[in-house]
Structure 1
Amino acid sequence: MRAFIYFVFLILAACTADVLSPEVLSSKVARASSAELCSAYRLPSTTLRGKLMIEAELAARKVNQCGNSNYGQYSLSTAGTKSYERPFSSEAAGVDYDCDDFPNGAAAQRFFLASGGPVSDPHNLDLDGDGLACEWGAQIRKVSSYRRPVASVRRVTSRCYTGPRGGTYTITASGNKNYGGC
């Protein structure tokens, strides 16, 4: 138990430290469990960069909710609002990436944040300057509005039937006659 608490403390410290490079913070977030990420996400001391990375990581893991609450409000708060200048550069540093290189918006957002986003965009993944790469805005809208399915309650109505010799019975869920049910 003590090791678990120590590990959670390390994750929380990583999410609150703006001095860490985006690559280091991204790798710490990637190594944490979903429960640890949800705990760090709820803390007010977690930085905006940490919260954005946690949102992208949870969505990439296909986690719909943290406990019974939704996440995604930090990414959604910037969707569609140009917050960063994006001069288009045809020469990306190193290997050039396009949105088609990622399986979904969450993976693109994780890469985008790990490579310096939203402040810098060396791979031109955020052309509109809202801080969201590729289709991450559309994906996070779905995640943030997710509603857990409600279990349906099956109503059982017992109806008494009268047999040919006057005995009464009900029909069970498996289709058998229950002579003691009326």
Structure 2
Amino acid sequence: MSAAAGAEAWGLAGLASNDPGDIHFDIVLRGYDREQVDERLRFLGDELATAEQALAAARERTAGLEEELASARGELERRVPDPDVGFGNRVEKILRLAEEEAAEIRQRAGTRPRRSSSRPGPRPSSSTPCAMMSSSGCVAPRTCSTSTSTRPGSPTDSRGGSPERRVAWSPRTGED
């Protein structure tokens, strides 16, 4: 039986209030009615025990939530990559692709026979599409313009120069 129910059973319903101003004990010959005071003390003891249990449960819940929060933060730190590391990986991939493309261009240039012009002076330039390709598609479409001219003293130059090849890279526009 709860303290409030016990107070009502004895006709002491006013003793179950939590507001100290609402508590009135009957005055008897030697002070206050002992049964009313004892009942009030039991009621307050029960309330205190209930509050202590609720406090202990709240502390346990708080400790559990703090552990869960720490675990979630640790998991988040493991899952979120460091932005600097991701940037470095992308740059490394772009550089590797550029090196591969340069090696391929050098290889093609070395295996192709050179054409020699029988007449001195610059040759008309030619444009061929060139692009850095990755697994996701075209990274940097460009047009490669080449032209050959003669340096002074080349065999094709009347002054004895050698042919010089120039390569100019320009961004590809949407008009191509």
TM range (shorter): under 0.3
Which is helix-richer, 1 or 2? 2
Q: Which has the higher contact order (CA 8 A, sep 6+)?
A: 1
Larger Rg: 2
TM-score (norm 2): 0.22
Is the strand fraction higher in 1 or 2? 2
